[in-house]
Amino acid sequence: MKNKWWVVIVILAILLAASFILAGIASLFMPDSIKGEGNVAVIPIKGFISMDSSGSSFGIASASAKEVVEYIQDAASDPGIKAIIFEINSPGGSTVAPEEISKAIRKANKTTVAVITEVGASSAYWIASATDRIFASRMSLTGSIGTIISYLEFEGFMEDHNITYRRLVSGKYKDLGSPFKEMTSEEERIMQDKIIQLRDIFIEEVAKNRGMEIEDIPTEAEIYLGTEALELGLIDELGGIEEAKEYIEEKLGITAELAEYRRKSFFGILTEASNERNFFIGKGIGSAMLEAEQTQGIMIR
Amino acid sequence: MAKKGVEAAPSILKRILAFIADLLVINLVVLYPFRRLIENLIPSGPLSDSYNYLMAHPGIVSAIYSIMIMVAILAVLYFSLMEYHLGQTVGKIIFNLRVVPLKNKLGYWQCLLRTLFAIPFFPFYILWIADPAFALFNKDQQRLMEWVSKTKTVQSYELTGWKQ
């Protein structure tokens, strides 16, 4: 009889161990957007905002619009989530990304709040403006409502080193913005025109989102401290996550418990750890590479 | 006083209670490590809302299905290993039931065959109805997969005061 119970214990112990191992393996392949427990989703928007890339490369954080939109849709369809907080610390990013995120915010049909921590400028501010309420610290940097196209021009350098730019194009504007030749005044006019058009769209969107007149939106792309932004009506309140939580509790009559939305998979943790290590190994090289990459194309920052 | 054991078909109630006890053991041992994963995948709230959420996220449905398959494999192992080594599961030990072969010695494949009802795939889930229903019409109260595997479940009765 005693022997029988030993067999039972051994079999159950083997099965328990096998369950833990299989559950561990399964967790590696589970969908990434595993959220924490709570009724208020917290979606971080940190670093340079673009359509695809996300995470952190060489220690510099970046946010992917695709991923943020996925999180918003996830939170919006979750009946347990009553409100969404966007924790913003970003200087801006590409032109299409904020529009995609803003559309998803408007479609979410939940109470949405933006909390600007250190920086919430340019396209990051565009995203914040799409929420129901914006909080920022009095020392946060925000605003910078404008667009920029910038790149390094190497024509002089190439000439000094006797390097020739061989130009073969199907139309005269095909290599507009090429760093290997000096920009003509006509090309500059075209580029400047695009920048103004994009800025106007940006201003229109912010005005619509904030319920303000277009004339009241600053057009010189100036950055503002939280206190200045409050006076201009660009934010609603001074504060951080705690104040946002209180606002949600008061508005919805609930006890807000925060559920962080971020990648928590085993591979994600490994990547994060390895990226941090990469940062210390190749900080200088990495930063230089990223800056060079980010100066290409049209950006709202 | 002399003692003698005899074996007879157990009551349906005892078999159901033994099965419930086994489900509790499986819930405790096999399902426990997966619980956290499942809780993270399925949102809390009314059933209809959870259903709508899952319909909107086919990736999560696939993940849940993968977990179900793993749990089912472990449940099959629980029944088959216990019955092969002891002729009994924990539930059967509690209710004094035993699996016996109709001929020769109990083989592992017989034990495995008896347990196929736990697999959540077509056509195995037909067994959730067909398997116990078969016992109602069988004179030895064999489940369908017991009949197929040439085994049966019996109850040991101890007769006291019996003299040879």
| % residues pLDDT > 70 (chain A) | 81
Comparing CB atoms, the residue among A12, A23, A77 nearest residue B56 is: A77
pLDDT reported for residue A29: 72
Q: What is the pLDDT of residues A1-11, one digit of tens each?
A: 668 889 999 99
Give residue limits of the domains in chain B.
Answer: 5-159
Chain B residues in contact with A264 (beta carbon < 8 A): none
For residue A39, with 0-12 CB atoms within 10 Å meaning exposed, 13-18 middle and 19 or more buried, which class applies? buried
| Residue B5: pLDDT band with limits 50, 70, 90 | low
Alpha-carbon torsion (B85, B91, B96, B99), positive or negative: negative
- Up-side HSE of residue A291: CA atoms within 13 Å toward CB? 7
Structure token pair of residue A142: 């925000």
Q: Which residues contact A89 (CB under 8 A, 6 or more apart)?
A: A44, A45, A46, A47, A116, A117, A118, A119, A120
* φ, ψ dihedrals at A258, nearest 5°: -80, 135
Average pLDDT over residues A21-29: 82
In residues, how long is chain B?
164
Segment among B60-69, B84-93, B104-113 with least mean pLDDT? B60-69
Chain centre distance of CA A154: 31
- B interface mutation test: which of A2, A15, A263 has the most B CBs within 10 A? A15
- Residue A54 in this model has a pLDDT that exceeds 70: no
pLDDT score for A223: 93
Partner residue opposite A15 with nearest CB, options B29, B34, B53: B29
Q: Give the gap in angstroms from C-alpha A192 to the nearest C-alpha of chain B.
A: 43
In DSSP terms, which residues pair with B160 in a beta bridge?
A: B3
B/e letters for A48-69, b = 16+ CB within 10 Å, e = fewer, are bbbbebbbbbbbbbbbbbbbbb
- The pLDDT value recorded for residue B45 is 64
Q: What element of type H or E holds A194?
A: helix A185-210
Cα-based distances in Å from B153 to A144, B92, B137: 78, 9, 15
What angle is formed at CA A14 by the lines to CA A12 and CA A19, rounded to 5 degrees? 90
List chain A residues with CB under 8 Å of B96: none
**Cα distances (Å, whole numbers) of residue A27 to A20, A266, B65:** 10, 8, 13
* Residue A265, pLDDT above cutoff 60: no
B67 touches chain A (CB under 8 A): yes
Q: Does B57 touch chain A (CB under 8 A)?
A: yes
User: A32-146+213-300, superfamily in CATH?
Assistant: 2-enoyl-CoA Hydratase; Chain A, domain 1 (3.90.226.10)
State residue A273's pLDDT score: 44
* ipTM given for this complex: 0.85
Across A54-71, average pLDDT: 73
> Which residues on chain B are in Cβ contact (under 8 Å) with A73?
56
